Amino acid sequence: MRYLRGTWMRGGTSKCWLFDAADLAGGDPDAVLAAAFGAGDPRQLDGVGGATSTTSKAALVQRSATPGIDVEYRFAQVGIGARRVEWGSNCGNCATAIGLYSLLTGLVPARPGHTTVRMRNINTGTLLAATVATPGGAVPESGAAVVPGASDGGVPVELAFLDPQGSTTGRLLPTGRAVDHLPVPATLVDAGAPAALVDADELSVDELIALRRKAAVLMGLSEQDDAIPKTGMVCPPRDDSHDLRIRMLSMLAPHPSVGLTSAVAIAAAAGVEGSVVHQALGGEVPRVLRLGTPAGVVAVRAEWEDGVLRAVRLDRAARRIAVAEISVPLALAS
Amino acid sequence: MRYLRGTWMRGGTSKCWLFDAADLAGGDPDAVLAAAFGAGDPRQLDGVGGATSTTSKAALVQRSATPGIDVEYRFAQVGIGARRVEWGSNCGNCATAIGLYSLLTGLVPARPGHTTVRMRNINTGTLLAATVATPGGAVPESGAAVVPGASDGGVPVELAFLDPQGSTTGRLLPTGRAVDHLPVPATLVDAGAPAALVDADELSVDELIALRRKAAVLMGLSEQDDAIPKTGMVCPPRDDSHDLRIRMLSMLAPHPSVGLTSAVAIAAAAGVEGSVVHQALGGEVPRVLRLGTPAGVVAVRAEWEDGVLRAVRLDRAARRIAVAEISVPLALAS
C-alpha cells in the first residue's frame, strides 16, 4: 500500500484533488492517480473520485523556479471507468482552487490586504493569477461567494487569465477574419482556448457539432479532439440581467453553464469589431461583460492595451473540503 | 471552521465515511454531516459526498459497553440536494467496512488467525459479526476479493447477520403463512429486513410496486415507507452458475444487484417449506445458496438450529480509501 497526501478542494463548479508534485515523482503518476481515484470502475467506487467529469480532476502543484511565477501545476483529468489520465488541457476552476491552496499551505506567503498567486499551467503554458483578500496577512478558510452552478459559498477568488490571446494557434483570429461563414456566421477566436462562436439562437446539438468540425479545420485544429474548439451560440440578451445570452457545448453535450476558458474566448471576441459577439452586443462592449448561461450570469472583464488582450478576469470561489492521506493499492499503482 | 476526522472506506458496493461517535457528540450530528457532505447541493459539490445513494453514507462508531458486543454504530443516509440525514435503516455494506475499520484502528485488537468483530447497529438493533483473516495478528490493508457490482478487489470480510429472524415484526412469517396470494403467490418473510418475495419472472416495476403495497398492509408495515418491505421476484435458475434467479426493487426502481438485508430474507425464506423460494429451489436447499442477480452471483449461507435461523453469512470485501480531516463550514454545521 502506498500512502499519498492530498488536499481536496472545491474550485468554482469543480472538485479537485491537489497533490505536491514531489509526492508523485519517481513513479508513474498516471497509474498512481488512476488507482487513487478508483478510475477503473465506472462509479469510481474504490477511490476518491466523484465519478463525473467535474469531480474527477487532480493537479500536481509545485513552486516555480521561473521569475515572476509563484507556482506551476499540471492538470489531470482522471478517467471514469478507464484506468487512464488525460494531460492535454487546463481547468480554470482548479486554478482557482490552486490559488487558495497555495496560500493555505504557505506555498505562497500571504501579505496584508490582498495576495496574488501567479501560476503557470504546465499542460498548456497558460499564465494565470489568483487574487485573494488576506486582511492582516490571514488566509480565509470559508466565505460566502457563490458562483453559478454551485449552491454553497466559498472564499472569493479573482482569477485572471494573463496574455491569453493566441494561446493554442498563436493568433487571436486564426483565420484572420472577424466572421467566417460555415455557412452560419461564426467568429473563430483563440484566447484561453480556441472557440467557435456562432451567431444563432436555436441550432440543435447536431448542427453545432457539424459546424464545430468545419471550424476545427479552418483553425488548423484536429477534427478528432472533442475538447477544442469550444463551440457555442451567442445572441442578444432576453432581459437586462445580462449582456449576452450564450449556450456552449461541453464534450459534444450542452454545457450546464460555461467553462472558464470559453468565457475568456467570448470576452476576447467581444473586443473584436465585427465579430458575432461584438454584433450581438450592438457594438457596445461593457467594461464588465455579463454572460447569461443556463446556470446564471457569469461576469468577465477583459483588459486591452494597444489592441492586445492583456488579461481576462473572473470572480470565482474556492474552499478546502479536506486534507487526506489516501491509500493507493500497490498492485494498481506500481 | 470545524475540523472533523473521518475514515473513508469502501464496503462491498458502497462508499462510507466512518467517524468516531465522540467526535460528533455535543452538537447537531445531522447538521455536521450534512455540511461535511455538501448535502444541500444535488451534486454534493462542496463536500465529501459522492452524490449517489450508495456513496452518500456515513456511520458513527463507538466501543460498546454491552458484554459480547465489540462496537456499536449508527448508520446515516445523508441527503443529496437536501440538508437532511436519515437514521431509519441499517446498511450491510457499511457494516462490512466497519468490521475492517475496527481492526485497522485498533478499536478491536486483532488475534493471530482470524478476528471476529461483533457489532450492534443502533438504528435497528441488528447484531452482526465481521470476520477477517488476521495472520499473526496483522490486519490486511488490501486484498483481491471482488463482490458483484464492484470492479476492484478488497480485503475479504465474512459478514454474518446474527439471529436475524423477526427483526422488524417479531415473526419470521408475519402472516403466519408460507405463501400469500396477492393474487400472485408471494412469501412474506422478516429476517434482516421484511421482504415480499414473489413467484414470478416477468412482472413490471409497476406491478411489483402495487404488490408491495398489499404486502406492506398484510405485514403490518407502513404503506408510505419506500425502504421496506424489500420486494422482488424469485424464480428457478437459467443455468448452473446459480441456484435461484432474483430481481429486487430498490426504492421503487430495479436493484442493480441485491441489498444484503434482502439476501438475508431470501436465505431465510429458502428454509421455510412451501415458500415460493423453497419451491423455486425444487425443495432442495443447498448449504450455500447462490443468488443470481443482474450484477452477478451472491452466495449466502443460512444456519438453522431447531427451526430458528441463527445466522446468515455472506462473503464481502472492504478497503480503506483514505483518512481525512474534513473542513466543515461552521455557518452550516452550527
Convert the pLDDT of each residue in B169-187 to its tens digit.
999 999 999 999 999 999 9
DSSP string covering B8-54: EEEETTEEEEEEEGGGG-SS-HHHHHHHHHTTTSTT-TTSS--SSGG
* Residues sharing a CB contact under 8 Å with residue A22, sequence separation 6 or more, in sequence order: A62
Selected residues 37-66 of chain B with any CB under 8 Å from a CB in chain A? 38, 40-43, 45-48, 50-52, 54-55
Note whether B46 contacts A321, CB cutoff 8 Å: yes
Are both B123 and B233 inside the same structural domain? Answer: no
Which residues does chain B have within 8 Å of residue A151's beta carbon, measured at their own beta carbons? 40-42, 45-46
Is there a contact between A48 and B151 if contact means CB atoms under 8 Å apart? no
Q: Are A277 and A266 in contact (CB under 8 A)?
A: yes
Same-domain status, B9 and B96: yes
Could you read off the pLDDT of A156-205 as tens digits, one per residue?
999 999 999 998 899 999 999 999 999 999 999 999 999 999 998 889 99
DSSP character at residue A123:
T
Say what the pLDDT of residue A334 is: 47
Number of domains in chain A: 2
pLDDT in tens, A36-93: 999 999 999 999 999 998 999 999 999 999 999 999 999 999 999 999 999 988 899 9
In a domain, B52, yes or no: yes
A22 and A92, same domain (yes or no): yes
> Is residue A217 domain-shared with residue A248, that is, in the same domain?
yes
Section B29-42 average pLDDT: 96
Measured at the CA of B178, the angle between CA B172 and CA B183, to 5 degrees, comes to: 120
Give the number of residues written for chain A: 334
What pLDDT score does A250 carry?
79
**Is B53 within 8 Å of B77 (Cβ atoms)?**
yes
Q: What is the DSSP string of B92-156?
A: HHHHHHHHHHHHHTTSS---SEEEEEEEEETTT--EEEEEEEEGGGPPPS---B--TT-SS-BEE
B329/A322 CB distance under 8 A: no
Determine, for residues B324 and A329 on separate chains, whether the beta-carbon distance falls below 8 Å: no
Q: Are residues A27 and A103 part of one domain?
A: yes
Please report which confidence band the pLDDT of residue B124 belongs to, taking 50, 70 and 90 as the band edges: confident
Q: What is the mean pLDDT of residues A132-149?
A: 96
Q: What is the mean pLDDT of chain B?
A: 94
Domain assignment of residue B312, yes or no: no
Instruction: State the pLDDT confidence band at A332, using cuts at 50, 70 and 90.
Output: low
Average pLDDT over residues B288-304: 96
Query: B105 CB near a chain A CB, below 8 Å?
Result: no
ipTM: 0.92
Please, which residues have CB within 8 angstroms of residue B44's CB and are 6 or more apart in sequence? B37, B38, B50, B51, B56, B80
> Does any domain span residue B293?
yes
Contact list in B for residue A47 (CB cut-off 8 A) is 321
Residue B58 counted as domain residue = yes
Question: Taking 70 as the threshold, does the pLDDT of residue B25 lie above it?
Answer: yes
The Cα–Cα gap between A37 and A58 comes to 9
Q: Which residue of B has its CA nearest to A326?
A: B322
Give CA–CA dist B91/B302, Å, rounded: 19
Let me know: does B179 contact B186? Beta carbons within 8 Å: yes
A60 found inside a domain: yes
Q: Report how far residue A60's alpha carbon sits from residue A17's, in angstroms, rounded to the nearest whole number.
A: 9
Q: Are residues B300 and B186 in the same domain?
A: yes
The residue ranges of DSSP E strands in B171-217, in sequence order, are 180-181, 185-191, 193-199
Residue B168 lies in a domain: no
Reported as a single tens digit per residue, the pLDDT across B208-231 is 999 999 999 999 998 777 778 999
CA distance A334 to A18: 20
Type of residue at B220: G
Range of the domain at A140: 2-164+317-333
Give chain B's length.
334
CA–CA dist A203, A205 (Å, integer): 7
Q: How many other C-beta atoms lie within 10 A of the C-beta of residue A200?
A: 18
Same domain, yes or no, for A284 and A325? Answer: no
- Based on the domain organization, do B153 and B187 belong to the same domain? no
Between A30 and A226, where is the model more confident? Answer: A30
pLDDT for res A120? 97
For cell 441550432, name the residue.
A203
Partner residue facing A150 (CB), from B6, B41, B332 = B41
User: Is residue A300 located within the same domain as residue A194?
Assistant: yes
Residues A104 and A248 in one domain: no
CATH code for the domain of B204: 3.10.310.10
Both B139 and B288 in one domain: the answer is: no
Q: Indicate if the pLDDT at residue B147 is higher than 90.
A: yes
Chain A residues with CB-CB distance to B45 below 8 A: 10, 13, 15, 54-55, 150-152
Residue A21 has what pLDDT? Answer: 98
- pLDDT exceeds 60 at position A2: yes
- pLDDT for B68 equals 97
* CB contact at 8 A, B206 and B181: no
Q: Residue B256, preceding bond cis, omega within 30 degrees?
A: no
Q: For residue A227, is pLDDT > 80?
A: no
Q: Is residue B91 part of a domain?
A: yes
Residue B198: inside a domain = yes
pLDDT at A256 exceeding the cut of 80: yes
Using a CB–CB cutoff of 8 Å, tell me whether A99 touches chain B.
no
Count of A–B CB contacts within 8 Å? 115
B80 and B220 co-located in one domain: no
CB contact under 8 A, A329 and B319: yes
Rounded to whole angstroms, how far apart are CA atoms B155 and B169? 34
Higher pLDDT, A269 or B331: A269
